[in-house]
Structure formats: C-alpha cells, structure tokens
Structure 1
Amino acid sequence: MTTATRHPVELRYATASDVESVADGARVRLALEGSRGTVGVSGRVTDAALFRDALAATFGILASDLRYRGKDRTAYLAYLMKQGKRASALIWEAQKAFLDNALDGEKQQDAVLDPVLTVDPDSVSLEVFSRDESAYARLSFDNRLFEGREAAHGSTFLDVPPELPARVDRLRTYVPVSLEAHVALATPAAQPARAPRNVEVPHAWLRGFLQVQSAATLPASTCELAPIDLYNLLFALRARKAKKAPRALRFELVPGAPPRLVLEPWELVLECHGGTYNGAAPAVVRTFGRQRLAALARLLPHAKSVKVQLMGPGLPVFWVIDMGAATLTLGLTGWTESGWSSAAAFDVLMPRAVPDGLAEQLRERLRAEGPLPFDTLAASAGAPRESVRAALQLECLRGRILFDVARGQYRPRELMPTPVDAAVIRYGSELEARAHRLLGGDGAPGAGEVKLTKVHDVVGEGLRIHGEVVDREAVRSFFPSFTLDLEGRVKDASCGCPHHRRSGLREGPCEHLLALRLAYARRRAEEEALRQTPEGRKLIRAETRSYVRRDAESGLEMVYRVSLDGQVVAVEWGPRTGSPRHQRLWFDSDAEARGAYFARLEKLAAEGYIDAASALV
C-alpha cells in the first residue's frame, strides 16, 4: 500500500501502560498520548470485577483478527531436507526470505490507530476497532464506578502494549483497584524517555472505523433481550459448527411479541425473554458475523440487559450490553476488511448535500451543551431533519462527533488533532473511485453507463446478477456478472476487462464489477421506496417476495414465495425444511396479474405472515 493511501499520525507517550501490584492493592496505569493537551482520569474502582472483565473483553475485541493467513511451510521444508527429499537449502532460504518479506508487509499493514480514550463530565469511554475491520467496540464507565474521581476532559490515544491485556486479566478483585490514566505518569528516574512513534494508518482502516460510527446514526429496528437469551445464543454457537452456508443469525420481529432468534443452517429457534418488540411493522432481519459475539461471554455475569439495533441489510448490527456502571457497545459489520458489502452498504452513508455552516453549528452546540439527542438538535437547527442528519453524519466521518448508541445521544469527540478529510476516505480504493465515476454522482456526469440486464433468483444459492458497463475511458463495453450468495458474499464473478482477466478476484474486484454491485444496491433501494406508492406499483412487471410465519406451539415455519413475471403469478409454499408445493396462474394482461399478485401479498400480511425481503442482502 502506498503512502498516498495512508494517514500519518505521530504518537508521543511519556511511558508505557502497565498494571502495578502495590502494598495496598493494585493500580492500573494507562499512558495517554501527550500532544492533545491535558487529558486524564483517576480514582478508586468500586467494582473491580466489572472493571477487569469489561476492560479485558474490550482488549480482546481490539486484538481480534479473523482474516485468512497462509500456513508457514518453513518447518515442513526443513523436515523434507532431513529426509533427503526434494528440498534444497536454496529453496528453504528462498522460502524463508519470502515469508520474512510477507510478514514485514503484514506488520506494516497492521499499523492501526491506538484505542481512543475520551473523558467526559459524566463518563470515561474507550473506543477500539479490530484489525480485520469487522468489529467496533465502545466501553463506557459511569462516574459512579470511581470513588474520588479526578478528571481532565478531552480525547486522546491510549497506549496498549502487547502484555497489557494479560496483566489486566490477572487483576485480583479481592484487593482495592485504582485507575490512573494520564499523559505523564510518574516513572522511575532510571527509565529512559520513550521516543515518538510514527504510525501510518491505512485510509481503508480509518474509513471503516468512521463509517461504522456513521452507520449508528441511521434509524434502526431495536429489540430487547434478556442476559439469559445471550447466554443461550452463545451456548448454541459454541456447541455447533456450521460447515456450509447459510450461517446467518436471523431475527424474527413481530410487534407485541417477544423476538425470536433463529440459527442457520440448523433452523434452531431461540425464544427470547427480554420483552416484546415495539416496532411499527413485522420484519425478518438476517445478520452475519455471529461468531464474533463470543467476545461478550466475559460480560455475562455482569449483564443486566441486552439491546440489539438492526440497521438494515449489509449495515452493522449494534449490541449494547448494559452492566449498570459500565456499558459496552459492540458493532459487527459481518465481514473482514472492506469488501463488496461495505462498498455497497456504506455508499448510503456519504452525505449528498449539507448546507454551509450547519455541521460546524451543530458541533459547536454539542461542545457548549454536552450530549444531545437527534430530536433536540433538529428542533432548533433551523434546517430540515434530513439536512441535520446529513450534517451529523458528515461530522462523524470527520471524527469530530460520536454517536452514543447506548444513550441515543451525540457527543463531541475529536478523533484527530485536525479533522479527517471526508473526501480522502470517500472511497476505499482507486478501483472503487473509478466505479463511482462510472455511475456518476455528486452532481457530476458519469464516466460511463451501468445497466442491469438480468437479475436471476437461484433458489438455495442466491442471486445471479448480469450487467453491461459502457466505459467511455476504455472506449468499449464490458459485461460483468456475479453471484450474490445467501450470506451476501460475491462468488463466480466474471468480466472481460484486463484487470479481471489478469488476476480475477485475487487483487479485489474490478471497477466494472464494483459499479454493477453498487448499481444493484441503489436500484433495490429505489424499488423498495417506489413500490410503497400506487404509481410505483404500476411499473412493476417482475418481482419475487417471500413471506414467513412461525407457529408458536410447534415452532414450524411456513414460507410463501410469490413471484410476478409479466402475465404469470407463481406461488410456492410449504415448511422451510420440507418439500414445497407449486402453483402457476396465467392472466390475460399484465395489469390483472399485477393486481392478483399484490392481492395475494396483502392477504398473507393479513394472516400474520412477515415480509422477509428485509432479510435479504
């Protein structure tokens, strides 16, 4: 990765973070970065077990990395040499040199920002983002967790040496524990001062960190779970291992009824006990990345309630664990590293138009008045609510505002000494920038034309999407296609451009495949909004919808799949795990078929069936 795709950051720590055992107890000493002014907090911890477990779980999320890594075959080559096989010393040395270079590049690629510690008048919080860009966590400690609290408000980076998580994990809770987080901790005179450390943070990593926070500002479906529900979910995941897709965690939400969790592919139903769902309409939402929930197991003894915020297909899912004096917010993106899903889903997070001065006005008000909810900010902003939300999203992408998911409030928080340029992190790569140029946007004409020629629903596999991309820069047309499987992953991609013919997907998708993926996501969002109007329904000639209903006593789930194709309406129904029945109806005109199609959907909704379209990626 070139220096042009990295954000340089200089970190100045006077000493290293550590855990000390003293005569009267234990002291957690956290070293803070010194270039951001006077920031710090200290006090005696009133609940040492909660403090230890919450901090250890957060450090575990920080260190998590589920990316695939190739096996080191150096030892095997050495074994072959001893056996007299075909493995000469030259081959072994070449293999070692290759692995050394690969590991050096890996270490350089893993250069990410240190955790961000923010001291507010009402709390102190710690933000981390996993190395594989799949999990974001914010741990917040209320003031009641500390006795004799002394604080200097602000935001800065926290030093986390490799040995610190293990030392925090070994904290003994039967002795008094105190916290000292300061810029300049008292150190022995013999200890030399630490030299400044320069870190070049990849823009892709920084982009993911800020976009996950920006996603939290969007409207969401919220459901309450009991701690025992989270325990049952983690136990079921630990006792089973899915060897094939789909591997989703499905939420079945019916207003007035407790939520249900369904584990795929076993269709294991977990009834929840945390209260009823209060949403306006029933929904089925499929989420991915469920194995990362194992990081929450450490918090089960302290959990009082669990709240889940479901943002939408392809967007992060936020789990909020309320532990009384501490709250952990875990955001799961469902993928490792920025890929196809992030390019399509996070495209909606980029504000299209923000009135001049509105973002600065909102930020200054938060700095003056403290945390405020969206409704309060929008009521006195003097601008439409859509503009206020876009301005707040822009400030989140700049790193100057934080959205507290647990409390539903916006907070001032400076991630960097200078605001992050939203244009720099607008795209994850040059190929993604080219894909957006092909589509056009932001008032600029497109450098090409992207057409969806065919979207074929393959039962049990996913969607096969074909398109045509007219690339005016290349002065030719390309015909990309790919399969979007049941987990939202792209496979079986093809394109005739030189990039794809040379490397396939090994170096990432080409701009034509990315443009087709973005075009499909945008068209699907437009169709969902359009089909809610009578005028929009008249334009629909081909569509497929799935409706589901689960029997409360037997747990059997019935699935109806209704399709409209011109003058034909096809219905497929039956148990999810059984053999379905089929029916095809022909009509004299498209209008008659369309009327029968929507009449069948309305009848299913009246009978208590849930539209499962939101569960698709």
Structure 2
Amino acid sequence: MNVDLRYLGKSSVLGAAQGLLVRFSPNLARPKTFFDASLRHPIRFREAVSALHDVVVGDLKFKPKDKTAYLAWKKAEAEREAEMRKQIHDDAKRAELARIAKEPVPPNLDKDFQKMHRIYWDARIKWANELASNDPEMFRHLVPCDPVVTVAPDVVFFECFSKDESSYGCLSVDREAFEGAQEAGLGTTNVDYSIALYEHFQTLRSYRKTRLSVDPTGFEVSVAGSSDYREEKIDLPPSWLRGFGQIQASTCLPSRRVELGVEAVYAILAHLKRNREKSGPRSLRFQLTPGKPPVVVLDPWGIEVTSRGPVYDGGLEIGGYMPSGGGPYRSAPVGRSSVTEEIKVWGRRRLFALARVLPLCESVEVRLLGSGLPSIWIAKMGEMRLVLALSGWTANDWTSGSGLDMLAGAINPDKRTADLAIRFLQKEQRATLSAIAAATGAPEEGLVPALHLLAKQGQLIYDHADGVYRHRQVMPTALSESLLGPEHPELVEGRAIAKGAVSVERDEMLSDGRRAVVAKAKGTSCEAIFDADFALKKAKCSCSYFHRNGLRAGPCRHLLALKLVVSGSPIPAPPPPAPAPAPAGGSMWSSGERFALPREIADELQKHAARRSVTTSRLLEEAWDIAGPRIQGARSWTEALALAAGTSVKSIATRKVEDAREEPLALHPDVLAEVSRVADRFRAQKAAVLSLAWLLARRSL
C-alpha cells in the first residue's frame, strides 16, 4: 500500500530557558491531530518511550553466519567469467527482443511478474538488514518505522511494531500525566521518528520542565515553500497493516489474567541475561492454581520463580466480555478449583523490552491465550502503561503464524452491527463492551466478532490496559480485503461445511464442566473438547492439515465447522455425579487388552501416572497424541526407533521375556486402531509402538 507522509521539519528535543520541548512532527497528509502539554514525570516518559524504541528495533529472528567475504570473492570470480560471455549475452538479448516485439502479451505475464516481485522484495529485505547493522542513519531514511500516535479524550498513546513484526508495543499516557493547560485535536496520525530523536530522549531529566508536543503549527501555516517541508512516499508491506488487525484478534479469544510482581519479572530477565540456554526447551511455563500465587518455570534449567503479588483467580476474559456475568472474571470451572493448569510461552528474550521500565513499575499483568499462542504483558507505571504483545514465538510473526483469525473468527460477524458500533465509537471515542452493546442493541457475545472485523480493518483498538474499545484509524481509510488479503481458506471452508455437512456422533458434558464432542465433518472424523466458552482445549482430526500443524496454525476446517455447530446447539445433560468406576485399565472404552511392556517403561509409566493422578491408559493416549504423527512419518521401524535417544530404546529393540511385564490397558478405539496400523506396517508389536510413543512424549507430559 502506497502511503503519503508529509512532515514539516523533524521531530526533536529542543532546549529552552525553562526546560525541554519534546516536539513530534505529525503527518500533514492525515486529518488535523495535535497535542501540547507539560509532563509531570519526565523520567517515566523517557524510560517508557525508550522501551518502545527497543520494541521498534527488535529483531530476534535467527541470523545465519556472515559469509560476506566469501561471497565477495565468489562474486568477483563470477564477474570475471561473465565478462567473457557479455558480448554473446547482449547479442542474444537483442535478438530475443526483436523476435518478441510483435508477439501478443503472454498469458502468464502476471504470474511471472509476481515471481520477479518476490525476488525483488527478498533482495530489498536483505539489503535493509545489512543497512540496519552497518549504517543506521541510512536505514532510517529507507525503512519506515514511524509510530502511530492517537490523541484521545483521556489518553495519548503511541503504537509501533518491531522490525521482525513479532512484537507490538503501545505506550498509553493518561491526561493526568500532564499539568497546566492542554491543547488537543483528537485523531490518529504518524509522527516523524529517528534514531537521533531517541538519543535526545536520553537527555530528559526530572529537574527540567518537559513539554510534550505533537506540533500543531504544521497545520496552521503554509508549508509548501518551506525548506523544512518534505514529502515521502513509502510502500507499506501488507503484513504491517494486517499485523494491527491480528493483534486485535487476540481480544476475541479467552485469556487467562495473571498478576506478576515486579520482582518476579526482574528475576526472569536477570537469569536470562546471565545465562544462555544451550538446548531446549526454551519456554516460560506458567503454573496456575486458583487461589495460589502464580509460578513461572524457566526451562531448560527448571528454575521456579514464584510471584509475591496477588494470587491467581482462575478466571477468563474475552475482549471485555465476561461470560458468567458475575464479576470481572469467570470463576474456575466447577470441580477443578484446585487443579494446576500449565501454559507455555516462547520467545521470552523479547521481554527485555520491559527492562528499562521495571524500576518504575508497580506491577505487571500478563494475559495468556494458551500454550504456543500470543501473550500480552502490561507494565503499569501510575498514569502510564506499556503494553507489549508478543506472538507465539519469535519466528512466528503476528501476520502469518498463529492462525488467530481461525481461532477467533469462527462466528460470522454481523456487518450491520459493525456499522452501528463504529458510528457509536466515532462519536464517543472510547466505550466498554457493555456500553457498545447497549447502543447497538446487540448481545455482548455477538458483538465481539463485529468488533474484531472493525479491528482488522484498522478502525478501532482494544485497550488491554483500560479494558475499553477506542476509535483509532491506523490508516485514513478502512483497510479493504484487497490490502488485507482474503480470509484463510480453512475458515471459509469450515463455514461452508457447518451448513449441513456435520454429523455429531457423541456429545456429552464431562465432570469438570467441559464438553466432549465426536463427529464427522464432510465424512472426516474429528473430535474435540470445548470449555464453557467454546474454546478448543483439545482436539484431533484425521485430515492432512491437522496432521501437519495440529492446533499450532489454528484449527482445520472440520474442527471449525464442529465448533460452529456445537456453539449453536443445546448443552447436553451433565453426567451423573457419581459415575461407575472405570475398569482396571482406567478407561471407559473396553475391559482392557493386555500389553507386554518393558519393565523399565512400565515402572516409569506407573510413577508418572500416580504423580498426575491419571491412569496409565490415559497417559499413553496423551503420549500417542503427541508422538503418533512423528512415528507414522518414519519410513521404517529402525528409523522410528532412532527418533528416541537413550538406553530405554534398547529395551524395546532387544526385549526379552523376563524383562517384560503385562499391563491391562483400555485405550480409546481410535488410538488402538492407529497403533495397530503402525505396528502392522513396521511388523512390530503394539506394545513396542506404545513404548516408543511414551519415550518420545514423556518430556512434554
């Protein structure tokens, strides 16, 4: 998308007799937006805006070894050889141009153009990376990183993306942070930003009065002939625009709210600063037990950091919509109030963007969408708040990786409701979900998808810090589908399948308040467990999309169709309070087939099952869900055994009768059928296949 930027002068920090002036030059090509007032706490603003800068320049994606010298030699050799052929090449080129001069336009011209365009952008990105490392000043002139600034009735907030588009930062400054008279023109604009401006920010001091100005003079004078006036035309990549909408998709998903003490975040960053992991896993594991302080475990060291802040309340929130209606967060599901839930997040070194604001923080609030999904960190600093939204992991940017549209967009938005909502927000500028529902007459649960549609079009933002929706146009006009790209094909097909092609075979309520559903969607077998808010807690499908991605890239079309059908169907009756005890194998599926497992593995399974208070059968079913696709992807039994390392594998390959112990296992029929097929294919015992699955999955369980 081509964007016009018109600036009068450059943003700067100017010295004066009474203090400093932080002057931002706004984009004159956008509607008039300005702000001018004195800061009460310049140090807070300095540290917070510097943290925002760290987000902008952040790029933690893997960088291969520098081979510049070798490539330069190789290029010189190629040029020497090419010089010998240059004349022949030029003659051939002239002959070819003469031949095709009168031919019609080839039918594949557009396809070839897209291919060449991709080559151009790959080269441009590579060149930009080299400039960022070797010539930051030139990089700033060529690569747009101007933040988006919004002046609202109650706050002024700055938004930006990281260079690798995996991190989003938003600095929100309350109007109470300013003193004296305030001049403001409400709206959203870009402001000129540079590395030099960041360096000037470091000169802010508490003993000097500081004034923040989104300069209004640029709108009041004739600037066409000014030497400081400049126009820039940049081609914004669609991923930058889509990213703003994808961030708002997270508001349509259930999130766990966790309050961390500042000392807990400091301990995490301090350990990561002093230590570099040499092997995986590289995750932060949140261990959440309702009524107890949250615990964060740093892998692979296994170090536990216990927060001294508020205890975890076990509740959910969905874009400001509280499903239970009784308080700000839904209470923990009945029967699971003391169960510990574990959520893993990756890409933790991006949290160093919070390092500068920690000394000024009162607390840090974390919103967790689920394992491998984005997380949102809110650093609270009195009248300022810094929101850091991180994608699932560093290499998984907001645009392409998480499949949030498929997780959040399974409900069709009502465009009439969306039109009413945006008109109301344009008038009020900010509103809670309940206020928008009252103004539009739509129920809160049906309003969230409509607001998500507006967020994808760049028309509004959900303020995680204040819990309100705000009118904010990231571009002067709504972003069209041609810019954002069409909806994901899995989502489109899922909606089509939901219209009569889903056959539910089993639908029952579990004792912990969740809902288990087994069905066939367009002839494909799938099953899922939903929580009270119809969020997918666990799922399985026999299609190739799920086999490749699981739920990491969002649910497949069959699971999406199942979710649409289940969310609109009545809730089945709950199970009786005292169900009949399970058979010896610990499962409802059968009386239990006996499997000769290696004694060492059988003992390990028993200990692990006792520690988790589950049956051995259930443990092996979970292990098969994790390791089954890897085993099925092997070409031989030898290759499958090579997937696991350690002496335990030898007990499977060279098993003796005296080293085996028969265990009665009652496995799900689908699991048993898959294990049998793999065993027949590799000419191995079913017990050996199950044992291998356990060895591959035990670290994840």
Give the TM-score of the pair, scaled to structure 2. Answer: 0.62
1:124 aligned partner: 156
CA distance in structure 2 between the partners assigned to 1:391 and 1:325 by the alignment: 31
The answer on 1:180 being equivalent to 2:213 is: yes
The answer on whether the counterparts of 1:465 and 1:483 sit within 8 Å (CA) in structure 2 is no
Name the aligned partner's letter for residue 264 of structure 1: D
Secondary structure in structure 2 of the residue aligned to 1:13: strand
Count, aligned residues: 507
The answer on whether the counterparts of 1:224 and 1:275 sit within 8 Å (CA) in structure 2 is yes
Distance 1:146 1:441, change over 3 A: same
The answer on whether the counterparts of 1:229 and 1:273 sit within 8 Å (CA) in structure 2 is yes
The answer on whether the counterparts of 1:128 and 1:138 sit within 8 Å (CA) in structure 2 is yes
CA distance in structure 2 between the partners assigned to 1:409 and 1:534 by the alignment: 36
Secondary structure in structure 1 of the residue aligned to 2:124: helix
1:197 aligned partner: 232
CA distance in structure 2 between the partners assigned to 1:318 and 1:566 by the alignment: 32
1:421 positional shift: 2.0
The answer on whether the counterparts of 2:493 and 2:557 sit within 8 Å (CA) in structure 1 is no
Secondary structure in structure 2 of the residue aligned to 1:34: coil
- Taking only aligned residues, the RMSD between alpha carbons, in angstroms, comes to 4.7
Distance 1:272 1:192, change over 3 A: same
Q: What aligned pairs does 1:371-410 form with structure 2 within 5 A after superposition? A: 371-410=430-469
Q: Deviations over 1:209-229 (max 9, x none)?
A: 211123134332112111112
CA distance in structure 2 between the partners assigned to 1:76 and 1:590 by the alignment: 58
Secondary structure in structure 2 of the residue aligned to 1:377: helix
Distance 1:194 1:92, change over 3 A: farther
Distance 1:31 1:341, change over 3 A: closer
Q: What aligned pairs does 1:475-486 form with structure 2 within 5 A after superposition? A: 482=548
Q: Which moved more, 1:367-376 or 1:132-141?
A: 367-376
Equivalent in 8, 16, 38 of residue 10 of structure 2: 16
Distance 1:356 1:442, change over 3 A: farther
Q: What aligned pairs does 1:295-310 form with structure 2 within 5 A after superposition? A: 295-310=353-368
CA distance in structure 1 between the partners assigned to 2:258 and 2:6 by the alignment: 42
1:58 positional shift: 0.5
CA distance in structure 2 between the partners assigned to 1:129 and 1:367 by the alignment: 25
1:166 positional shift: 2.2
CA distance in structure 2 between the partners assigned to 1:340 and 1:417 by the alignment: 21
Name the aligned partner's letter for residue 160 of structure 2: V
1:564 positional shift: 4.8
Unmatched tracts of structure 2, length 5 or more: 83-118, 130-141, 315-330, 333-338, 502-520, 529-537, 580-586, 591-609, 625-647, 649-660, 673-696
Q: What aligned pairs does 1:354-369 form with structure 2 within 5 A after superposition? A: 354-369=413-428
Unmatched tracts of structure 1, length 5 or more: 1-6, 82-86, 456-462, 470-478, 490-513, 543-556, 572-578, 594-612
1:153 positional shift: 1.0
The answer on 1:90 being equivalent to 2:77 is: yes
Aligned residues with identical type, % of pairs: 28
Equivalent in 337, 345, 370 of residue 312 of structure 1: 370
Name the aligned partner's letter for residue 77 of structure 2: L
Distance 1:20 1:337, change over 3 A: farther
CA distance in structure 1 between the partners assigned to 2:662 and 2:363 by the alignment: 46
2:518 aligned partner: none
CA distance in structure 2 between the partners assigned to 1:376 and 1:452 by the alignment: 42
1:145 aligned partner: 177
Q: Deviations over 1:522-565 (max 9, x none)?
A: 599799999x96689999969xxxxxxxxxxxxxx944564658
The answer on whether the counterparts of 1:569 and 1:586 sit within 8 Å (CA) in structure 2 is no
More strand by share: 1
1:132 positional shift: 1.3
The answer on whether the counterparts of 2:37 and 2:179 sit within 8 Å (CA) in structure 1 is yes
Equivalent in 568, 585, 589 of residue 664 of structure 2: 585
CA distance in structure 2 between the partners assigned to 1:88 and 1:31 by the alignment: 43
More helix by share: 2
CA distance in structure 1 between the partners assigned to 2:57 and 2:623 by the alignment: 50
Distance 1:376 1:48, change over 3 A: same
Q: Deviations over 1:323-375 (max 9, x none)?
A: 00211111111333548973534312336423342112112222333422223
1:588 positional shift: 11
1:162 aligned partner: 195
Distance 1:297 1:239, change over 3 A: same
2:124 aligned partner: 104
1:69 positional shift: 3.4
Q: What aligned pairs does 1:245-284 form with structure 2 within 5 A after superposition? A: 245-279=280-314, 280-281=331-332, 282=339, 283-284=341-342
Distance 1:184 1:64, change over 3 A: farther
1:218 aligned partner: 253
1:114 aligned partner: 146
The answer on whether the counterparts of 1:20 and 1:27 sit within 8 Å (CA) in structure 2 is yes
Secondary structure in structure 2 of the residue aligned to 1:12: strand
The answer on whether the counterparts of 1:259 and 1:276 sit within 8 Å (CA) in structure 2 is yes
CA distance in structure 1 between the partners assigned to 2:668 and 2:294 by the alignment: 41
Q: Deviations over 1:460-500 (max 9, x none)?
A: xxx9999655xxxxxxxxx995477xxx97xxxxxxxxxxx
Equivalent in 470, 487, 490 of residue 411 of structure 1: 470
CA distance in structure 2 between the partners assigned to 1:415 and 1:483 by the alignment: 32
Q: Deviations over 1:241-285 (max 9, x none)?
A: 222222111111111111111111222111111111112335221
Distance 1:107 1:416, change over 3 A: farther
CA distance in structure 2 between the partners assigned to 1:570 and 1:73 by the alignment: 42
Q: Deviations over 1:64-115 (max 9, x none)?
A: 112233444233566xx7xxxxx683348899xxx99965344679955631
Give the TM-score of the pair, scaled to structure 1. Answer: 0.70
The answer on whether the counterparts of 1:286 and 1:616 sit within 8 Å (CA) in structure 2 is no
1:196 positional shift: 2.2
CA distance in structure 2 between the partners assigned to 1:179 and 1:381 by the alignment: 37
1:568 positional shift: 9.2
Name the aligned partner's letter for residue 252 of structure 1: Q
2:268 aligned partner: 233
2:556 aligned partner: 518
Name the aligned partner's letter for residue 170 of structure 2: R
Larger radius of gyration: 2
The answer on whether the counterparts of 2:246 and 2:404 sit within 8 Å (CA) in structure 1 is no
Distance 1:39 1:107, change over 3 A: farther
The answer on 1:25 being equivalent to 2:19 is: yes
The answer on whether the counterparts of 2:48 and 2:171 sit within 8 Å (CA) in structure 1 is yes
